[in-house]
Amino acid sequence: MGIGARETITLALLAAFLVGAVSIVWKSWRNGISPMPSSAQVRSVVAKEINRLGGNGSIIEAGSGWGTLGIHIGNNCNGWRLVGVENSPVPLTVSRLAAWLTFGVYPGGGQSRSSPGLRNPVVFRKGDIYKTTYTGADIVVCYLYPGAMKKLEPILREQLAPGARVISVCFALPGWQPERVVACGDLYRTKVYVYRKDS
């Protein structure tokens, strides 16, 4: 007796789920951290800090995960363009879909679906945060872990221009003195560190 269409679809969905789950676990193990969405309080504090800095320009989110922080920044920080860098395929796909639904950003090109030729505030790209070029970034946003911050520190020190900012959620950037530390109103009183690159 063969299997029917319902069973075939169920098995295909189960297989897709398992492949996705294994992909997340594998990348989490390789990265040293699993992709965690930021809380509403953390997203709000990061956006307020970006707006407090004023101006506009380029933001790179190192390790953009599920895209919740990047999309919040895109919705609440006018004049800034954010490029999220993520190497885990499942969260990257989810964040690209969310950006497309929110801003009309086609996953690869950053072109507006509603107004062709116009750039959108948020684009997510597949990449390695340690091989990404940060030159030209006015702000780098990170929600990583201590080992990643330690590994990223010399890259940021070498590539960021004087006056560029680093906003780190939860974990300090070794060897840098924050100009501000803001405690969020969440359960964990998560700290957001704001750094300014010296000359």
Per-residue H/E/C for the chain: CCCCHHHHHHHHHHHHHHHHHHHHHHHHHHHCCCCCCCCHHHHHHHHHHHHHHCCCEEEEEECCCCCHHHHHHHHHCCCEEEEEEECCHHHHHHHHHHHHHHHCECCCCCEECCCCCCECCEEEEECCCCCCCCCCCCEEEECCCHHHHHHHHHHHHHHCCCCCEEEEECCCCCCCCCCEEEECCCCCCCEEEEEECCC
23 and 80 both lie in a single domain:
no
pLDDT at 43: 96
Q: Which pLDDT belongs to residue 62? A: 97
19 with 52, same domain: the answer is no
Residues 16 and 49 in one domain: no
26 and 95 co-located in one domain: no
Looking at the fold, whether 141 and 188 belong to one and the same domain comes out as: yes
* Residues 1, 67 share a domain: no
How high is the pLDDT of residue 5?
Answer: 74
Q: Quick one: pLDDT at residue 199?
A: 73
For residue 8, give its domain range. Answer: 1-31
Q: Give residue 123's pLDDT.
A: 94
Overall domain count for the chain? 2
CATH of the domain at 120: 3.40.50.150
Together in a domain, 6 and 75: no
Query: Could you tell me if 96 and 20 lie in one domain?
Result: no
| pLDDT of the residue at 146 | 94
Positions of the chain with pLDDT lower than 70, given as ranges: 1, 8, 10-36, 105-119
Q: Within this chain, do residues 26 and 62 fall inside the same structural domain, yes or no?
A: no
Q: What pLDDT was estimated at residue 118?
A: 46
Q: Are residues 24 and 5 part of one domain?
A: yes
Q: What is the pTM of this model?
A: 0.80
pLDDT confidence of residue 30: 55
Per-residue model confidence (pLDDT) at position 143:
94
pLDDT score of 122? 94
Same domain, 4 and 97: no
Tens of pLDDT, residue by residue over 86-98, are: 999 999 999 999 9
